[in-house]
């Protein structure tokens, strides 16, 4: 019974969070912030989607214009995300992150500082898990694998594959939790403002 009640409460809060999102993103500034955040998260998640090869190119001895080329090549790669399930995961992660940023900005403006700090730390951890989970652990290519190989040696790749899925799931859970919590707080703020 208790679990059912928690689930119902969580579902209700999710509905309120979605409702507050609808109200907040009506404002042009919020739309702009949402699009900018979405682009930034999509860019960085795509930058690391195939492991650290782009990062290594940026820190190599390449000429400045070639480094710009490395950074520019991410934009067509962003479009590719729409063609695979893996890419869809990246898009979904970026969407939730961007929505959280919009909610964070709204809550900050309405002096809900505690809610902002709590949600920022939770969504921050979620975002980091999202980055760590990227790559192709089956091939051993991912941000997680090199460190694991230092700890677990040859078993690193097998470990990385399992942990990669765990981190992806954790990233989604933490981000959705932050979104619901912050969205609900903002919903209450909006309703209170209406009553005033």
Partner 1 sequence: MQKAIRIGVLVLVIGFLVTLVIFNAINPASPDKDTWNAKMSKGDKNSATHHFVMYTDIFCPYCDKFSDAVAANLEDFEQHYIKDKKILFEIRVTDVNYVNGHSNNSKPAGISAYCAAREGNFWDYYYALLKKIYNDYHSKGIGVDKTAPRIPDLEKSYFYDFVSEINGLDYDKMKTCIENEETLSELDTNTRKAQSKINGGVPHFVFDKYVADGFAGNWNTNYDYKQVKLLMDAGLASK
Tally of CB atoms within 10 A around 4: 8
Query: Is residue 173 involved in binding partner 1 (CB under 8 A)?
Result: no
Min. distance of Cβ 183 from partner 1 in angstroms?
Answer: 19
Rounded CA separation 110/53 (Å): 42
Among 6, 7, 68, 139, binds partner 1 (CB under 8 A): 139
Site string for partner 1, 67-106 (x = CB under 8 A): --xx--x--xx--x---xxx--x-----------------
Query: Is residue 23 involved in binding partner 1 (CB under 8 A)?
Result: no
Among 23, 25, 39, 54, binds partner 1 (CB under 8 A): 54
* Token output for 137: 């652990």
Min. distance of Cβ 27 from partner 1 in angstroms?
Answer: 29
Rounded CA separation 145/51 (Å): 9
Query: Is residue 130 involved in binding partner 1 (CB under 8 A)?
Result: no
Query: Is residue 166 involved in binding partner 1 (CB under 8 A)?
Result: no
Query: Is residue 31 involved in binding partner 1 (CB under 8 A)?
Result: no
Tally of CB atoms within 10 A around 94: 24
Burial of 99-124, coded b for 16+ CB within 10 Å and e otherwise, reads bbbbbbbbbeebebeebbeebbebbe
The residues that touch partner 1, with contacts defined as CB under 8 A, are 49-57, 59-63, 66, 69-70, 73, 76-77, 80, 84-86, 89, 117-118, 121-122, 124-125, 128-129, 131-132, 135-150, 154, 156-158, 160-161, 164
């Amino acid at each position: 019974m208790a679990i059912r009640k928690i689930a119902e409460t969580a579902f209700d809060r999710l509905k309120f969070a979605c409702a507050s999102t609808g109200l907040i993103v009506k404002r042009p500034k919020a739309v702009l912030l949402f699009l900018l955040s979405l682009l930034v998260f999509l860019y960085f998640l795509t930058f690391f989607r195939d492991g650290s090869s782009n990062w290594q190119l940026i820190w190599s001895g390449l000429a400045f214009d070639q480094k710009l080329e490395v950074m520019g090549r991410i934009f067509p790669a962003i479009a590719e995300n729409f063609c695979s399930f893996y890419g869809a995961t990246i898009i979904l992660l970026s969407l939730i992150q961007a929505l959280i940023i919009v909610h964070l900005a709204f809550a900050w403006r309405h002096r809900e500082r505690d809610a902002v700090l709590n949600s920022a730390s939770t969504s921050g951890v979620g975002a980091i898990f999202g980055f760590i989970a990227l790559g192709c652990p089956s091939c051993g290519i991912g941000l997680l694998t090199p460190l694991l190989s230092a700890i677990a040696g040859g078993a690193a790749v097998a470990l990385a594959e399992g942990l990669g899925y765990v981190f992806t799931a954790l990233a989604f859970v933490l981000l959705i939790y932050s979104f619901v919590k912050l969205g609900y707080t903002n919903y209450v703020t909006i309703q209170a403002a209406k009553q005033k």
